[in-house]
Amino acid sequence: MEVYVILSKINPGAFTNSKEFKRAAEEVAKTIKRDCPNIVWKDSYALLGDYDVIDVVEAQNKAEIMKAVEIIRAIGKAHTQTFSAIPWREHIDSL
């Protein structure tokens, strides 16, 4: 499986309060679990800075990750940037 990093920035004014945001986050997770069963969610973090959330996931192909990203964008009302990632040890060993 390939590793991907998804950076998400919540659109300004997307949510009026934290409860609304929490419901959307739960809906994103539920929808991805249902519609993207082959994606393995490794970890997620809230961020300080230009982006609000970072997710580290594994997927078998780009089509799977694109589906998950579209769900984040639509339900989570976010702009995303997605990167393919290589585990550091694997990268070093390949040199």
Q: Does domain 2-94 have CATH number 3.30.70.100?
A: yes
- What is the structure's pLDDT at 70? 98
Every domain of the chain and the residues it spans: 2-94
Scanning the structure block, which residue is given the tokens 């499986």? 1
Dump pLDDT digits (tens) for 12-28. Answer: 999 999 999 999 999 99
**Strand, coil or helix: 91:** helix
**pLDDT score, position 8:** 98
What is residue 49's three-state secondary structure? Answer: coil
